[in-house]
Amino acid sequence: MSKKKAAKPAAKKSAATPVKKTQKAVASKPVKAADAAGGNKSRMTENRLFKPSAEFSGKARISSMSQYKKMHEESLKNPDKFFGREAKELHWTKPFTKVLDWKCPSAKWFTGGKLNVSENCLDRHLQGPRKTKAALIWEGEPGEKRVLTYQQLHREVCRFANVLKRHKVKKGDRVVIYLPMIPEAAIAMLACTRIGAIHNVIFGGFSAESIKDRVLDSGAKIIITADGGYRRGAVVPLKKNVDDALKAKDTPVETVIVYKRTGQEVHIEEGRDVWWSRELEYVDAHCPPVTMDSESPLFILYTSGSTGKPKGILHTTGGYLLHAQMTCKYVFDLRDEDVYWCTADVGWVTGHSYLVYGPLAVGATSLMFEGAPNWPENDRFWKIIEEYAVTVFYTAPTAIRAFMKWGDEWLQKHDLSSLRLLGTVGEPINPEAWMWYHTKVGGGRCPIVDTWWQTETGGHMITPLPGATPTKPGTATLPFFGVDVAIVDDLGKEVGTDEQGKLVIRKPWPSMLRGIWGDKARYQDTYWSEFKGWYFAGDGARRDKDGYIWIIGRIDDVLNVAGHRLGTAEVESALVSHPAVAEAAVVGRPDEMKGQGVVCFVTVKEGVKTGRELADELKKHVRKVIGPVATPDEVRFAVALPKTRSGKIMRRLLKQIAAGEIIKGDTTTLEDINVIAQLVASGEN
Ligand code: WT7
């Protein structure tokens, strides 16, 4: 994102730097492994194999590789039969007549079928012993505990669905949910599905500005929020952020429902804002589920892409729920007796599929924790695992690397012997972190499922099956049922063993996104245009000699910072919205803890003083515009950005400079070679 005015005389200044010095400055920097995964070098040579124990396999639903292969083959060759059979495990109000209707890029799954998601997640478990089993176990950051049985959760969902109805929310309406990690988040989501409203959950770490964009884009007429949420002992002012977002002109929002969580005083706008608890007084607990078409929209979730504007990923009902249910069954092997904990926030897709919908669809007990892993101390997670006897644990590599850094003594204080299965998601895991997770957390006995997927895919796509797949530290291994993966070159030809290529999916799958909210063309362009008829994921990958898939990371202009997706263009657009900034280019650099860190190269307007103070101000500015998730790690001031003669910013060079690497590759197209020397020497001061 560049402002035209940016072409300031800066380039002239840099011309004074002799070329010779350029070359020297560039060459003297040390070489580092340049990869998103931090430690990808060892991922190239990793070959240890961990077979599931006979005990685990003996009880698992898929217990051998031959069983996996047979089922995978069937799922690709005969999806109608395979998914037709699997889908029978959902509760359909009206059975579907056709499994798949595919006309790229439009997929329709389970045509003619009707169902309701909340009915599948709640009502159908009320007939037998699950009625009184824990559906949700919750712990707040300050330490409060709540357990909601299936019966209780059902009741709360019905009541809140009636509250939504009272506020005239109808089938197809969009509802923004901006809540902390409290049971009410799941209740609000399920209540939307009960009446056919489309929820749009916004992560609590996003700013007022981001809320505003999402509210406007989705056309939501109602927002569900809380006064605040707890984060490491501090209060996140959620309601205040909503108020600020709604200062925008012409917002479609008519009602704000506020849940009292932190208790501080908040502004209540007469005629617009109502309290959650008061609203419940007007309703009863009877709310029959609305029958939805299999392809009815279920939710929108915004995610970053390679342009400045986040896109509203649209998921629909039948296929999404089936995939969430199937993966909880086959990948997490969830059973009635499990206590399953996914540490993701409901604001991300992982929280949707694997904290709420998947586990509840299979009738499992899902644990929800409001706080951070290191509050009040570094053993909070281990304490929770011990206290609730968690059996299946799903977290992100970033968290694992943080635990490693904090030291083993924190987990040695706790009994983790209840664990039987571990999972990771969000970014490539380095073998060292994988081994630590395996030995220290899993006591060497728990299989690890490294699950590769995306907001767009709705659920796991490449993952081991814990009772069947021998795992290797660092690889997500093999495709899930129905997933036809290929790694191809720019022309769409499959690359050879151990060669890097682009990851594509060649067949539709039930939980694939159905579109980008309000932007048909962008849906087609982003996912289906690079290779005709195939889904392009935006990731680079390679396949090893055993056919295992190693995800290398994003190859588009999207960063993965601590498992959170962030568009470089989004950060650039936030930077240039600051009055001091002329032009900005943002790149990722390998970061041992977070996978990638955010490095910003900034040129300032004429007469602006650069220095640490401005660097800090710009970091704060980005934080304010997008949210704390996007806070830059480094702001480097430059007199000019490296551009080709046609004016394109050479990001490849900036990435190398940010990583402190020797400049590799061709720089002959660079407009002004001296710019490089200045950039290498640039810092925050
Ligand atoms: C991107 C999707 C899927 C929910 C969380 C993130 C990266 C995700 C893995 C993994 C290597 C992974 C990819 C992907 N990613 N899981 N197991 N190994 N990389 O969802 O925000 O949509 O991000 O996360 O780069 O494209 P998301």
Residue 29 has pLDDT above 60, yes or no: no
Higher pLDDT, 449 or 15: 449
Mean pLDDT computed over 320-347: 98
Q: How far apart are CA 652 and CA 630, in angstroms?
A: 21
- Mean pLDDT, rounded, of the chain: 92
Query: For the chain, where do the domains classified as CATH 3.40.50.12780 start and end?
Result: 1-33+51-552
Residue 135 has pLDDT above 60, yes or no: yes
Q: Which tens digits make up the pLDDT trace of 192-229?
A: 999 999 999 999 999 999 999 999 999 999 999 999 99
Q: Whose CA is nearest to atom 18 of ligand 1?
A: 428
Residue 31 has pLDDT above 50, yes or no: no
For 190, other C-beta atoms within 10 Å of its C-beta total 25
Q: 302 alpha carbon to ligand 1 midpoint, in Å?
A: 15
Kindly state the helix (H) or strand (E) to which residue 351 belongs, with its residue range.
helix 349-351
**How many helical (H) and strand (E) elements, i.e. helices and strands, does the chain have?**
24, 30
Q: 334 alpha carbon to ligand 1 midpoint, in Å?
A: 22
Q: How far apart are CA 577 and CA 586, in angstroms?
A: 14
DSSP per position, 521-583: HHHHHHHHTTTTTSEEEEEEEEE-TTS-EEEEEE-SSEEEETTEEEEHHHHHHHHHTSTTEEE
Q: Which tens digits make up the pLDDT trace of 408-453?
A: 999 999 999 999 999 999 999 999 999 999 999 999 999 999 999 9
Mean pLDDT computed over 309-322: 97
Q: 350 alpha carbon to ligand 1 midpoint, in Å?
A: 10
pLDDT band at 671 (very low <50, low <70, confident <90, very high): low
Residue 12 is predicted with a pLDDT of 36
Residue 684 is predicted with a pLDDT of 62
Assess contact for 632 and 601: CB atoms under 8 A.
no
Q: What is the CATH number of domain 562-682?
A: 3.30.300.30
Query: For the chain, where do the domains classified as CATH 3.30.300.30 start and end?
Result: 562-682
Ligand 1: which residues within 6 Å by Cβ?
Answer: 303, 348-350, 425-428, 450-455, 476, 537-539, 551, 553-554, 560, 565
Assess contact for 562 and 594: CB atoms under 8 A.
yes
Tell me the two tokens of residue 176: 């923004």
Tell me the two tokens of residue 507: 């067949």
Q: Which tens digits make up the pLDDT trace of 56-89?
A: 999 999 999 999 999 999 999 999 999 999 999 9
Mean pLDDT computed over 284-294: 98
Q: 117 alpha carbon to ligand 1 midpoint, in Å?
A: 25
Residue 662 is predicted with a pLDDT of 62
Q: 471 alpha carbon to ligand 1 midpoint, in Å?
A: 19
Q: Whose CA is nearest to atom 7 of ligand 1?
A: 427
Residue 97 has pLDDT above 70, yes or no: yes
Q: Which fold has domain 1-33+51-552?
A: Rossmann fold (3.40.50)
Mean pLDDT computed over 124-136: 97
Query: Which atom of ligand 1 is the closest one to the Cα of 553?
Result: 25
pLDDT band at 663 (very low <50, low <70, confident <90, very high): low
Residue 41 is predicted with a pLDDT of 58
Residue 176 has pLDDT above 60, yes or no: yes
Residue 493 has pLDDT above 80, yes or no: yes
Residue 673 has pLDDT above 80, yes or no: no
Higher pLDDT, 25 or 219: 219
For a pLDDT cut of 70, what percent of the chain falls above it? 92
pTM over 0.85: yes
Mean pLDDT computed over 272-279: 98
Q: Which tens digits make up the pLDDT trace of 376-390?
A: 999 999 999 999 999
